[in-house]
Structure 1
């Protein structure tokens, strides 16, 4: 062993650490490793004792990585990635570069279905796990690895890339038969803002819907006028725009990940793919 090698690294505990970080419960980690949950708990305690600090926060039986735990997880994954080159990955993974969990808004699942299928075909060494949800999966709690998010500004402290502007427009059912006094809002709004009111002066909120996908469907069924990303509304022949772009300050589509994970090959591969995909649009 070289003079600079760290002789105290608990190599035998690292597969257990990886399993618990990924599975988040003792039982699930034990099943993954084919050992009993008591052994998982005991060896994680021993690893934390060696480190001198907690790697996990325990809440109602769930194990969430601490800040140190997230940094350690990224470091161990990088080591695992290098070892996989020699066929000696710690977890004996079927996919040598591991799994990437991608969280996206549901309305993007339509336009990303073909590109993500192509990504998986081109990168069989990576297992892509897609979560299409309007609920924001937390990077900090390690609920996801990479996220696409619509917002004016991305969460602070993240590695982020701006993929493009997302202008918003008002839409009605095609044919002009919608009741323009009926406005479909998003939950939490108790009034119509002045920009929309200037276009629909007689409108009142008659329905609130969470998410662009159910919003589009409700508009198509004639429930009222609603606001959607321009591209998402325009691609549906059942809808007709009622307005031009609504706001001067567009929302943006952001691609984000934790800074400590950005150097992982699996993360870099997916993020580079998505950046190139959106750059070509």
Structure 2
């Protein structure tokens, strides 16, 4: 009897989580005018030898996959990153596997696949259709344009940066957190403006990522290969649209925190 009750509780929790993703995607798109799309998600069944493509398609509830896994111009993480000199271990080697066909995917479950990034929309009917077919899909924000941009950094450096910004009395908007990275949402910026900001710095840690035009960011309440996505700083309840700081206001603190945090300056942590 205990086993049956436990199974029922797990099923109720899973149904609630699925509904929460659909509700969140609709709220982002309709209430805040943020273009979203479903991420690739994680593979739920063990892969059989020689059946990679079929397994990936089954996990995503799709037919034949497209040949393009990530839109041209995007970094694999959906970020335009500073030049990196040091690599990172592949988290997919020991953790949950991505549902895309790449067995060595470094951002499992956390990137677009089918539909591609250009399909991101604010159309409620399209969003409901997507998440009705794939209720476990993570929610991806297509950054840039009229949508928010973001700057992300490893979680320990992110905590230090937020403490420094709070001490300065800086007003912040939403902050997204995963077990490995924190992302501060900022007002939209262009690559030319970002380039001028970074050019003025003596150095920019390779662990910093800049999610701008052509990029994307995983939003709560999604789940990826690194764990659950949550709000470290949630949008204010009842906001017509969350307020966002300019990137100039936060970039100095993020560079300093990444540089001064052990392991936060050169290692590209997913």
One fold, TM greater than 0.5?
no
**Larger strand proportion, structure 1 or 2?**
1
**Larger helix proportion, structure 1 or 2?**
1
